[in-house]
Amino acid sequence: MNLPFILDVSIGLIFIYLILSLLASEIQELLATVFQWRAEHLRKSIEVLLTGNAQDAEQARILELANQIYANPLIQSINQQAKGILVNIPRRLTWTMASTYRSMTNIQSDKKQTVFNNEKVGDSRHSGPSYIPSDVFATSLIETLEIPTIEQSLSSTRLDNFKNQRLAEIENVVFKLQEQVGENEENEDFFNFLYQSYSEIQADFEQVVWNFQQNKFDLNNSIGSMIASFDRFIESLKVNSPLPQERLSNSLQQLQFLKNNSMPSVENTISRTGLKPNVREIAQAIKRGTDVYQELTSALQDKDNQVLQRMEKIIDRLPPSIADNIKDLAERAELNINNTQQGVNALRQEIEHNFDNSMERASGVYKRNAKGVALLLGLIIAAATNADAFYMISRLSKDSALRDTITQNAGQIVLQNRNQLGYVDINTLRSQTDEALNQIALPIGWGDANLERQLSWTSKQRRPFPIWRIITLMPGWIISGIAIAMGAPFWFDLLGKAVNVRNTGRPPASTVRTEE
């Protein structure tokens, strides 16, 4: 027994396992598509991510939150479903099979309300996405929790308080000026001018707050408008006042001091007064009992009951464990930012990072599960095709014609894919092996030719099939099942290396690189 003979037998065995592995991968892909294994695994992984340290009593609310996230238009746009009568006929069959599979696997009653075809969240789709980008998930979670609305409400409340404080300070200066000038008829024009000027700045400040509440202005524009209005008020007193400037000098200095102290610049004002809530405060706003929650609810009770009701509804359906997780993410995000303007964006990035880590772990779990399914399919295919490893080795070692035919076809397939031995398209490889099968009678199957050699029995014989002798085939099936589960890419790569070793004129690529 020489080396070329061993290589030919090995190439023949590898080629057979390559074909059977392609069959297994096709079946596994079909099962994954019909039963939506990827989409189902992704949904469960997201539930695990949201669950964290949640108690069993919170499971229903976590499932509801997951459904709300899946109902977000960003995620729904990822889940593309074909349209049309002819296209939907086979899809309805797969939907029915997938629905039956999920109803059998989801034993608990609360688990039956999944994101697929869930009427509670208005989702009439029968499938879910098998992949969700981290930025889409983070944005969907933030929108589901209405964090931008909470941030806007908190900023609006603080801006309104800031407005009232500044107007109260200005009003105090105006009253002192009134006492200083004295109330008499000759100062009536000045008082009318003073009250009109104060009414104008008051109206300007009120308009700024209203514009911010209506999302017409951001905080920068709002504070900038207040600063400009304050400057106009001071300038108007200087230029248009009926009184001499020397009688207004103290009041003007006080107003200028108040303006410089409370509103030195847009960025400085926002930073010092906390008008833009930081990411930690936003996270605390959705957790009852915190100072920020009390601040916001107290301000909204008399002003905007609709926003307060929406906020309370969000908190009611938010499990405490998730609120704690978001608070932890916010604290980590706060360590990575330099100013408050990046707060929500930093929280979004932290959620993306956390989601990526979770999906990486989920991918490992899915691959392990897929390996288990591949092993089961490999054993079934080995038994169904009677792929006895010991018998195949025996046939290949004794039948030189079979050995040469397989070696020749295997060499052609490797030659056709010589530029992509590291990776080959499965569909292309499947097409090439199908052509080769038309020329080869592989030593597998339940035909008389194989059964006569394996069990000394054919269908033409009158005696019954020796079922008990199948036990002798099982060790070979088990070996073949394990080999099939290793996957087509593994066997194709091994086939390429074996063919290159056999063709001494072309050593393996690794050898060429070493010599170079």
pLDDT tens, position by position, 476-496: 999 999 999 999 889 988 988
pLDDT at 264 over 80: yes
Which domains does the chain carry?
3-25+366-515 (no CATH), 40-131 (no CATH), 147-273 (1.20.140)
How large is the average pLDDT for residues 50-55? 68
Q: Please give the pLDDT value at position 483.
A: 96
pLDDT at 500 over 60: yes
pLDDT at 227 over 70: yes
The SS3 call for residue 464 is coil
**pLDDT tens track for 382-436:** 999 999 999 999 999 998 888 888 888 888 887 777 665 555 566 666 676 666 6
pLDDT at 111 over 90: no
Higher pLDDT, residue 338 or 13: 13
Q: Left (φ > 0), alpha (ψ -120 to 50) or beta: where does 503 sit?
A: beta
**pLDDT tier, 265 (very low <50, low <70, confident <90, very high otherwise):** very high
pLDDT at 513 over 60: no
pLDDT at 203 over 50: yes
How large is the average pLDDT for residues 195-218? 92
The segment with the largest mean pLDDT, out of 196-200, 281-285, 332-336, is 196-200
**pLDDT tens track for 112-136:** 455 554 544 444 455 678 889 999 9
Strand stretches in 309-419, DSSP E: none
**pLDDT tens track for 354-373:** 999 999 999 999 999 999 99
**Token pair belonging to 69:** 């996230």
The SS3 call for residue 420 is helix
Q: How far apart are CA 291 and CA 284, in angstroms?
A: 8
Secondary structure in 3-state letters for 196-230: HHHHHHHHHHHHHHHHHHCCCCCHHHHHHHHHHHH
- What percentage of the chain has pLDDT greater than the value 90? 29
DSSP-assigned states of every residue in 66-120: HHHHHTSHHHHHHS----SHHHHHHHHHHHHHHHHHHHHH--SGGGGS-STT-GG
Distances (CA, A) of 168 to 192, 303, 498: 19, 20, 88
User: Who contacts 177 (Cβ-Cβ below 8 Å, separation ≥6)?
Assistant: 194, 248, 251
**Token pair belonging to 23:** 């069959």
pLDDT at 514 over 50: no
Strand stretches in 401-497, DSSP E: none
**pLDDT tier, 454 (very low <50, low <70, confident <90, very high otherwise):** confident
pLDDT at 232 over 90: yes
**pLDDT tier, 207 (very low <50, low <70, confident <90, very high otherwise):** very high
Q: How far apart are CA 99 and CA 106, in angstroms?
A: 10
Q: How far apart are CA 504 and CA 70, in angstroms?
A: 57
pLDDT at 84 over 50: no
The SS3 call for residue 478 is helix
pLDDT at 171 over 70: yes
Asked if residue 499 lies in contact with residue 411, where contact means CB atoms within 8 angstroms, the answer is yes
Q: How far apart are CA 354 and CA 348, in angstroms?
A: 10
**pLDDT tier, 66 (very low <50, low <70, confident <90, very high otherwise):** confident
pLDDT at 504 over 70: no
Of 498, 398, 503, 412, the C-alpha closest to 453 is: 398
pLDDT at 508 over 70: no
Least confident of 47-56, 183-192, 206-215, 505-514: 505-514
Q: How far apart are CA 150 and CA 281, in angstroms?
A: 10
Higher pLDDT, residue 423 or 24: 24
**Token pair belonging to 374:** 């591949």
**pLDDT tier, 248 (very low <50, low <70, confident <90, very high otherwise):** confident
Higher pLDDT, residue 111 or 91: 91
How large is the average pLDDT for residues 241-262? 84
DSSP assignment, residue 465?
P
Task: Give me the chain's average pLDDT, please.
Answer: 81
Asked if residue 343 lies in contact with residue 282, where contact means CB atoms within 8 angstroms, the answer is yes
Q: Please give the pLDDT value at position 27.
A: 93
